[in-house]
């Protein structure tokens, strides 16, 4: 299972680049909050291997995507792996229709990250509002970003 999860993480890193090909060249994928950095991306669910999706009970489909969130901390020149946090958020379309994102925690050794599945329409511009509560942070870490999503053919 550990090799499966490691492969999944490597796949996510590689697929993030692929998923963002249709996005502007300078797309942001992280935001700094003092010693904390929130990393985020959105990718099509079909980019996840079927066995990994099954292990995490994720539904794959051409109109389904996932938000991936993690937070790291840098102190004395050393950066942690993904830290545990309480993550919540919503996604909105251009008509301001909201969907609450339900994040699942994925822990792999010392690394923790969060995935939230959702359904979208092809070429849909979505706005994401995410809030993280991290132990030790003075206040919640809030990020907002937009992504245009394209359904797999």
Residues of the chain with pLDDT under 70: 1-26
Domain count, the chain: 1
CA distance 121 to 124: 5
Render pLDDT for 109-139 as a digit per residue (tens, 0 to 9): 888 999 999 999 999 999 999 999 998 888 9
Give the per-residue pLDDT at 3.
57
Q: What is the CATH number of the domain that holds 97?
A: 2.60.40.3340
- CA angle 41/95/140 to nearest 5° reads 45
DSSP state of 44: E
pLDDT at position 24: 54
Please, are residues 146 and 117 in contact by the beta-carbon 8 Å criterion? no
Domain of 100 in residue numbering reads as 2-149
Q: Provide the pLDDT for residue 10.
A: 46
Q: Shortest CA distance to 149 belongs to which of 2, 43, 13, 33? A: 43
């Amino acid at each position: 299972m550990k090799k499966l999860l490691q492969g999944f993480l490597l796949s996510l890193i590689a697929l993030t680049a692929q998923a963002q090909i249709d996005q502007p060249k300078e797309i942001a994928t992280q935001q700094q909050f003092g010693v904390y950095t929130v990393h985020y991306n959105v990718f099509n669910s079909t980019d996840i291997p079927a066995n990994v999706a099954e292990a995490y009970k994720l539904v794959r489909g051409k109109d389904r995507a996932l938000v991936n969130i993690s937070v790291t901390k840098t102190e004395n020149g050393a950066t942690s792996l993904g830290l545990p946090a309480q993550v919540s958020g919503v996604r909105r379309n251009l008509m301001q229709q909201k969907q609450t994102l339900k994040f699942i925690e994925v822990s792999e050794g010392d690394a923790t990250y969060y995935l939230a599945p959702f359904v979208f329409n092809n070429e849909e511009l979505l706005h994401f509002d995410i809030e993280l509560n991290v132990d030790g942070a003075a206040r919640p870490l809030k990020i907002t970003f937009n992504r245009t999503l394209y359904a797999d053919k």
